[in-house]
Amino acid sequence: MKKPLLISMIAFLTCAPIMAQANQNGGAAQDRGSETRQMSGKRTRLSGTVGAEGKTLTADKDRRIWVVSNPEVLSGIDGRHVKVKALLDAALSQIRIVSVSAFAEERVGVKFGDAAFRR
């Protein structure tokens, strides 16, 4: 009874490190190429300009270009200045947008509150 138990224990201990190493290598390669890669858990606020077809966002603060992982959120607002809440992946320069709000466009024209019109 003890002999089969001893043999199975030795077999397990010799195979366990090999299986663990194979699992580590396979899992790391899968995570790097995966679309569901973990983004930062905290939402970050950015303001910037939307690129062509909503695929990029150029940040105002540091002029960094972020690739948008969900461009359908920004469809229809190409070239506009927006504020977004997003999850960041700084290693890949990629963001996943959670919410978007566009800045109000400034009206160009006469401003009656200017010093020229005061009396």
- Which regions of the chain are under pLDDT 70? 1, 16-17, 19-40, 105-108, 119
What residue spans define the domains of the chain?
Answer: 44-102
Q: What pLDDT shows up at residue 60?
A: 92
Residue 81 CA to residue 73 CA, distance in Å, equals 14
Condensed to tens digits (0 to 9), the pLDDT of residues 49-63 reads 999 888 999 999 999
Residue 72's Cβ-count burial label (10 Å; 0-12, 13-18, 19+) is exposed
Domain 44-102 CATH class label: mainly beta
